[in-house]
Amino acid sequence: MRRKNYFLLAISLLVFLFLTIPLVIITVTAFGEDSTIVFPITGFTFSWFLKVFNSSSFINAFILSLKLALIASFLALIVGLLASYGLSRYNFKFKNAIKSFFLSPTIVPAIVLGFALFQLLVLTLNLSIYTSLIIGHFLVVLPYIIRIITASLDTVDISLEEVAWSLGMKKGKTFLKIILPNISSGIFAALLLAFINSFNNIPISMFLSGPRTSTLPATLMNYIEYFYDPSVSAISVILMVLTVSIMFIVEKTLGLGTLLE
Amino acid sequence: MKKHRQYLLLLPGLVILLIFFLIPLIKVLFSSFISEDGLSFKAYKQFFSDKYYLIILLRTLKISIITTLICAIFALPTAYFISLRDKKVKKILLAISVFPLLTNSVIRAFAWINILGKNGVINKILLALRIIKEPIGILYTDFSITIGMIYLFLPLMLITLVGVMDNIDADLPEAAESLGANRIIAFIKVILPLSLPGLVVGSILVFTGSLTAYTTPQLLGGNKHLMLSTFIYQSAMSLGDWKSASSISIIMIIISLLVIKGLNILNKKLDKREQE
């Protein structure tokens, strides 16, 4: 009976080492003095971080990714809030089909969506890369927003609204004053997940990228193909620190469990 | 007006999805069927008769299946281990599992370049131990892609399984043990069947994820070990071969839909058998 315990422990230990060691190695190599990546490192320096902060292409890409994630998430939030409210509060024909349609961008492989959007937006409609990126990322994050917000709308008692209406409150005002405050944590979780998914997206950004408009992950992809130096490790460390901060904020506000659902 | 309010709410989303999601996909579908002499299956016939294409398809399937199996084999005991811990430890272990999922996949693939490359950690260790005399090429192989994929998707399987196992009544395995089953039997007879829905969901996520992942095969496979996703990108952007890119896209969508459908049917059948 004890042996089984050790077996579970051993496998779990193996799995957690497998999950963490590669990221630990990246973190260590970011501080190496050599001009290429070596592990273990021979000296200790912050110069790769300085190089990253002084590189306009990395900084511009970072700002683009940030802007894109914010704009796409907020646009999707507005459209998603309306759609989620319609889906959770009304009954109509083809309701389930329409809901699946709203969630379907997650089923289509992102690489296919990127290819399809590249043809339509860039080649046929001649839209700018920036606009195309916003549309592409909007499509990627909308399903997350609709899924989380319909779920949190379903937990709000419909009689709350009915009371407000019967007391003469207009529907729009009821939505803003009664419903929104009740689903605020759902909205926060939806925005966060949307932001992370947009910021980390690669397949769509690879198809929709131009000479001076390339997201951070796409820029990194291209950089790694030609250079093998610790500046990529340094960027990785910066992004991992941001991820840890986000996880910390989530844990303190919603609890990490909400991101898992 | 009042009666049609729901449609007004849904309208913006529906219009956007129609124009920017459905129409481009239909365009891809059409262009895969159009050739010089009208509508035809030419692109698909070519795909399934060309050895070069078939090797890529088989590699993609092989890597996706192995990834799914290994993720399942390692995630099952680990998820059980996590679900047995008390609240505090569980939280920490889950945080460690979620962290890679929130980390960009470029970083996660890059991590393995550092480990598997010619100057990477593995080659250094093997050289130091005098097992090999010269660095061996582990990177840019099917093996390196598979490792990268397992690294990418193991956390997903883990979290899905912990979610299901957390809902299993802790008294059940204890009851089995008090009735004489040892821990392994209790795990196989009690925990495993109750975790099957999670295993199916996890397998769908991991399989379709590996089938369509782009970053990992691009960075760890190079140009010689293409998977369907990297092949789509290469056909479209490097070769300008829109027709191939379109037909591969459609094949990729069909495979993922078939797998989702198949595993769901399997799950229902297993469910029924449990109830009988």
Write the pLDDT tens digit of every residue in B159-180.
999 999 988 887 877 787 778 7
Check: CB of residue B208 under 8 Å from CB of residue B257. no
For A200, the closest of B105, B233, B245 (CB atoms) is B105
A236 contact residues in B (CB cutoff 8 A): 104, 107, 110-111
Residues of chain B contacting A82 with CB distance shorter than 8 Å:
9-10, 12-13
The distance from CA B182 to its chain's CA centroid, rounded to whole angstroms, is 34
Q: Which of A26, A65, A56 is nearest to A202 (CA)?
A: A65
pLDDT at residue A3 greater than cutoff 70? no
pLDDT band at A7 (very low <50, low <70, confident <90, very high): confident
Nearest residue, CB atoms, B24 vs list A119, A200, A244: A119
DSSP H or E stretch at residue B39: strand B38-39
Q: Residue B154 and residue A87: Cβ atoms within 8 Å?
A: no
Contact across the interface for B108 and A22, Cβ inside 8 Å: yes
The pLDDT assigned to B229 comes to 96
DSSP state of B129: T
- Among B2, B5, B20, B28, the residue to mutate for chain A (most A Cβ within 10 A): B20
Q: Which residues of B touch A100 (CB under 8 A)?
A: none
Q: Is the pLDDT of residue A144 over 50?
A: yes
Residues of A in contact with B16 (CB under 8 A): 79, 138
Q: Residue A240 to residues A69, A178, A230: CA-CA distances in angstroms?
A: 17, 38, 15
Q: Which of A4, A175, A5, A144 is nearest to A82 (CA)?
A: A175
CB A90 to CB B215 under 8 A?
no
The model's pLDDT over B82-118, given as tens digits with 9 standing for 90+, comes to 998 998 999 999 999 999 999 999 999 999 999 999 8
B275 versus B40: the higher-pLDDT residue is B40
Chain B: residue whose CA lies nearest to A133:
B20
pLDDT of A149-189, one tens digit each?
A: 999 999 988 888 888 888 988 888 888 888 999 999 999 99
Structure ipTM over 0.90, yes or no: yes
CB under 8 A, 24+ apart: contacts of B268-273: B270/B196, B271/B196, B271/B197
Q: How far is the alpha carbon of A213 from chain B, nearest alpha carbon, in Å?
A: 17
The pTM (predicted TM-score) of the whole model is 0.93
What is the pLDDT at residue A81?
A: 96
Q: Would you state the structure tokens that stand for residue B276, as one six-digit string?
A: 């009988």
Nearest to B209 by CA among B141, B261, B153, B148: B153
Task: Please write the tens of the pLDDT for every residue from A203-241.
Answer: 999 999 887 899 999 999 999 988 889 999 999 999 999
What phi-psi label fits residue B251: left (phi over 0), alpha (psi between -120 and 50 degrees) or beta? alpha
